Amino acid sequence: MINVLIFSKNRACQLDLLLRSIWDNFSMLKHNTKLHVLYKADNEEYDKAYLHLIRTLHPHLNAIWKHEEVAFKDEVMRIANRFDEPYILCFVDDDVVIKNINIVPMLQIFNRNSNINALSLRMGKHIDYCYAKDQPQRVPDFIQTKERILKWDWTKAEHDWGYPMSLAGNIYRTEEIVELWRKLPFTSPNYMEGYMAQQAPAQTRPYQMTFAFQRVYNVANNLVQTVCNNRHKDAPGDAPALLNDHYLKGYRLSTETLYNKSFNCANGEVEYILKKI
């Protein structure tokens, strides 16, 4: 029912946390999905960590692709052309599934309503702060479509509530989004998301849906791309190279500061705790 595409760069340790959170909290993706990872490793140590993840901890991944010399868009389209499910869920490697997800009721509504652009797993009625802008944000007026499922007009919303094309925990119609990707001249996930936002279908699909309570949290503890200087924690202990080194030595990021927690933002900082396995 759902294809999954995860983008990762130099963060095998954080990708491992995302994958474990999927297995723990999103049973549909564990047992019935087409899960693809596209990763980039800037040096041998990062590459070793990804190989460790693939061979030792997550051999049941459907497909994991290493981005090397081929153009990024070509890599994305090579994977996307394999998609044969009606929906696609996108993640980035610093996402974490923090609460149990039963997506079936929301997909049924999505299927029946052509005016819904996407399903968001990162929003919830308690999200009243935008971390990226360090500003409060107004929670929109909701159209209650079903118990614990909310619908809103993203064209009239602000900040995160008015951002309809995220790659961090949004579900799209596969045919529609892949066709959009074919037309866009992106060279990285950040440019990809930016171009998607520019092409958001405000006239035909002005609505978005989410659970009443956030299911996916994006951890803004470090930065690996150079396209956008996104706000992040920037703590030395959370540096990608240091986390990578710990990961190769047998440590994993704990879920105790994330699972079943309540955040007032779609993305933000959290305490990373490393535990030896």
pLDDT of amino acid 95: 98
Give the pair of three-digit tokens for residue 135: 């500003």
Q: Which residues pair with 116 in a beta bridge?
A: 207
Confidence of residue 117 (pLDDT cuts 50, 70, 90): very high
* 190-196 contacts, C-beta under 8 A, 24 or more apart: 190/225, 190/227, 190/228, 191/227, 192/73, 192/76, 192/167, 193/165, 193/166, 193/167, 196/165, 196/167
Cα gap 32→46, rounded to integer Å? 29
* pTM score of the predicted model: 0.95
What 3-state DSSP class applies to 153? strand
Which superfamily, per CATH, for 2-276? Spore Coat Polysaccharide Biosynthesis Protein SpsA; Chain A (3.90.550.10)
What 3-state DSSP class applies to 123? coil
How confident is the model over 224-247, as a mean pLDDT? 89
Q: Which residues pair with 153 in a beta bridge?
A: 207
Give the pair of three-digit tokens for residue 113: 């309503």
Confidence of residue 210 (pLDDT cuts 50, 70, 90): very high
Ranking 62-76, 104-118, 122-136, 254-268 by mean pLDDT, the lowest is 62-76
Q: What is the pLDDT of residues 12-58, one digit of tens each?
A: 999 999 999 999 999 888 766 678 999 999 999 999 999 999 887 66
What percent of the chain is predicted at pLDDT more than 90?
82
Domain locations in the chain as residue ranges:
2-276
What is each CA distance from 34 to 30, 44, 114, 118, 251, in whole angstroms? 9, 28, 24, 19, 28
pLDDT of amino acid 38: 93
Q: What is the pLDDT of residues 148-199, one digit of tens each?
A: 899 999 999 999 999 999 999 999 999 999 999 999 999 999 999 999 999 9
19 or 59: which carries more pLDDT confidence?
Answer: 19
